[in-house]
């Protein structure tokens, strides 16, 4: 097992402009633990909590295995940004977690809680999607349905990544209406970011997010809704909104096979790990004081 350890971003070289990184004392200690474990044949497990920031994972993303709400370092390389899911362990462990009062609209949830909740959503969604891809559709959907009951987006809004990962579970299971229902709840976030972009310049994340929602409308066959969404976007950037449902249907034929507009073809979306659309001051479509 070998990998490149770049360290945490620190500053830039004043002469060359190149980024300079560093390792904290905790990073050096963790690296020593992992080195010793590897030399002993990986007999003792080494875990990172899922709440550890990417900067603190020693660039080991390609060797982390998701086991519940912890990621185990394993000498098995993979390319999954959220970790390799161990289906013999993770689903059962996730079922043991109890979430209390996270579906109560009367409770205030600060930015730290919202970030942590999105972390939970992404872990559950990653596991559920892996179950669906492996043919365990009912189990995957059951896991995701349970989390949405415990932590609904209507109570604690999500960020760009959590909305897309959650919707992807239902999209891959063939429930395109449910995927669209979830992404519709993200539209206030998109509109908020579009308003910021109008003032600060274009953001590539916003474009990717917009395309994801548009594709969900088309894949679900909701061409009236797709036209309304398209016109709302155009008007928000100062353009004329006169797109029709038939025009959106024609666009769908260009994206999907004409015989699969009920969603037999998957959307291929890129989901960055560090979402520029995570706004800690944004909630329910309004800017918080």
Give the position of tokens 């960055």. 272
Q: Is residue 23 predicted with pLDDT exceeding 60?
A: yes
Q: Are 218 and 252 in contact (CB under 8 A)?
A: yes
d(CA 64, CA 79): 10
Does the predicted TM-score (pTM) go above 0.85?
A: no
| Per-residue pLDDT reduced to its tens digit, 123-165 | 999 999 999 999 999 999 999 999 999 999 999 999 888 999 9
Average pLDDT score over residue span 30-59: 92
In this structure, of 49-53, 185-189, 267-271, the range with the lowest mean pLDDT score is 267-271
- Cα 183 to chain centroid, rounded: 12
pLDDT of residue 75: 94
Rounded CA gap, 122 and 83, in Å?
11
CA 116 – CA 119 distance, rounded (Å): 5
* Percent of the chain residues past pLDDT 70, beyond the cut: 85
Closest CA relative to residue 33, chosen from 77, 86, 73: 73
Q: In the predicted model, is pLDDT for residue 263 greater than 50?
A: no
Paired residues of 65 in beta bridges: 72, 84
Task: State the pLDDT confidence band at 256, using cuts at 50, 70 and 90.
Answer: low
Identify the weakest region by mean pLDDT among 73-77, 126-130, 187-191, 280-284.
280-284
The 10s digit of each residue's pLDDT in 82-133 is 888 988 899 999 999 888 899 999 999 998 889 889 989 999 999 999 999 9
* Alpha-carbon torsion (145, 150, 156, 162), positive or negative: negative
What is the percentage of the chain residues whose pLDDT exceeds 90?
A: 54
Question: Residue 196: what pLDDT?
Answer: 74
- Judging by DSSP bridges, how do beta strands 70-73 and 64-67 pair with one another? antiparallel
Question: 204-226 pLDDT, tens per residue?
Answer: 778 888 889 999 999 999 999 99
HEC assignment per residue over 213-247: HHHHHHHCCCHHHHHHHHHHHHHHCCCCCCCCHHH
What span, in angstroms and rounded, lies between the C-alpha atoms of 58 and 28? 9
Average pLDDT over residues 246-254: 84
Considering only 25-29, 193-197, 273-277, which range has the smallest mean pLDDT?
273-277
- 168-189: b (≥16 Cβ within 10 Å) or e: bbbbbbbbbebbbebbbbbbeb
Higher pLDDT, 277 or 169: 169
Mind listing the domains of the chain with CATH numbers? 8-90 (no CATH), 98-287 (1.25.40)
Cα–Cα distance, 58 to 1 (Å, whole number) = 14
For the chain, the average pLDDT equals: 84
Q: Residues 159-195: pLDDT tens digits?
A: 888 999 999 999 999 999 999 999 999 999 888 888 7
More confident residue, 17 or 197: 17
């Amino acid at each position: 097992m070998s990998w490149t350890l770049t360290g945490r971003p620190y500053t830039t070289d004043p002469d060359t402009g190149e980024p300079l990184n560093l390792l904290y004392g905790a990073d050096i200690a963790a690296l020593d633990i992992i080195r010793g474990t590897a030399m002993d044949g990986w007999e003792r497990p080494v875990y990172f909590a899922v709440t550890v920031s990417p900067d603190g994972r020693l660039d080991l993303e390609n060797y982390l295995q998701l086991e519940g709400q912890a990621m185990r370092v394993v000498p098995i390389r993979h390319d999954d940004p959220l970790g390799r899911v161990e289906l013999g362990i993770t689903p059962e462990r996730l079922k043991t977690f109890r979430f209390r009062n996270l579906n109560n609209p009367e409770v205030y949830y600060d930015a730290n809680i919202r970030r942590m909740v999105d972390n939970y959503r992404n872990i559950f969604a990653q596991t559920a999607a892996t179950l669906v891809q492996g043919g365990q559709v009912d189990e995957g959907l059951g896991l995701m349905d349970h989390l949405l009951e415990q932590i609904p987006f209507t109570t604690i809004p999500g960020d760009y990544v959590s909305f897309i990962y959650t919707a992807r579970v239902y999209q891959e299971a063939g429930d395109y209406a449910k995927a669209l229902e979830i992404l519709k709840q993200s539209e206030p976030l998109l509109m908020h970011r579009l308003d910021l972009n109008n003032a600060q310049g274009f953001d590539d994340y916003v474009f990717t997010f917009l395309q994801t929602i548009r594709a969900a409308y088309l894949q679900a066959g909701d061409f009236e809704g797709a036209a309304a969404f398209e016109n709302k976007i155009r008007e928000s950037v100062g353009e004329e909104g006169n797109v029709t449902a038939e025009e959106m249907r024609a666009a769908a034929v260009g994206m999907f096979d004409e015989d699969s507009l009920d969603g037999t073809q998957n959307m291929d979306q890129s989901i960055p790990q560090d979402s520029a659309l995570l706004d800690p001051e944004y909630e329910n479509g309004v800017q918080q004081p």
